[in-house]
Amino acid sequence: MADKKPAEDEDLAKPKSKKGLIIALVAVVGLLVTALIVVVLFFVLKAPSEPLTAEEIAHQEFMAQFKTYPNPPAGTPPAFMDMKFVVNFQGEGRARFLAVDLQFMSSNPAVVADMEVMRPHLMNDIQNVLRRKTYTQINDPDGVESLRLEILEIARTISPRYRIFPDLIEDVFLTRIVTQ
């Protein structure tokens, strides 16, 4: 009987095989990875829950015609495009001259660079507006502001022809107006 006791201790002292534990662990990890892949594919490949409305489709088509600009780095100052005009305009009884310096502003310097291509078109249309003005219209208390808004509208009207989204031309500043 004494001989049997050490044999039992030897069985306990032998390391037991951990193959079953390793197989179970690999199976659990495999199931988790498979579940994760299924969830990711479900969300990535999932079709939109609602189809686009006609208005959304029209908006996407409208926006597709314009060039896309990357956002400028934070802290980038606005960019300006200068233009100068001296034109004859209608005076009361005599010829008059109108000199206007202006600056178009955009927060994105790339927009201003692209506006250079449309400069001849802008110059033509703005000169035509300036020539049609009268001395009384310019000297009216709201005359300069209405001229500024009219020039801004001209630029925004022309810009889609050059693939520039109109609202990217944010403002125009009349830096000098001289009438003679």
Number of domains observed in the structure of the chain:
2
- Percent of the chain exceeding pLDDT 70 equals 88
135 to each of 76, 95, 100, 123, 147, how far by Cα in Å? Answer: 39, 10, 14, 21, 12
- Asked if residue 152 and residue 108 are part of one domain, the reply reads yes
Q: Which residues contact 150 (CB under 8 A, 6 or more apart)?
A: 129
pLDDT of res. 146: 95
Q: What is the pLDDT of residues 92-126, one digit of tens each?
A: 777 789 999 999 999 999 999 999 999 999 999 99
- Whether the pLDDT of residue 80 is over 80: the answer is yes
Is residue 173 situated within a structural domain? yes
- Cα 31 from Cα 43, distance rounded (Å): 19
Cβ neighbours of 78 (radius 10 Å):
14
Task: Tell me which residue range forms the domain holding 34.
Answer: 4-45
Q: What is the pLDDT of residues 129-171, one digit of tens each?
A: 999 998 888 888 899 999 999 999 999 999 999 999 999 999 9
For the segment 28-40, the average pLDDT, to the nearest whole number, is 89
pLDDT of res. 107: 94
- Cα 16 from Cα 106, distance rounded (Å): 76
- Cα 34 from Cα 23, distance rounded (Å): 16
Residue that wins the pLDDT comparison between 132 and 45: 132
Rg of the chain, C-alpha, whole Å: 37
- Asked if residue 83 and residue 22 are part of one domain, the reply reads no
In 21-108, which ranges are E strands? Answer: 79-90, 95-106
pLDDT of res. 9: 54
- Asked if residue 175 and residue 128 are part of one domain, the reply reads yes
Is residue 74 situated within a structural domain? no
Q: Give the range with max mean pLDDT: 42-51, 58-67, 127-136, 148-157.
A: 148-157
- Asked if residue 167 and residue 83 are part of one domain, the reply reads yes
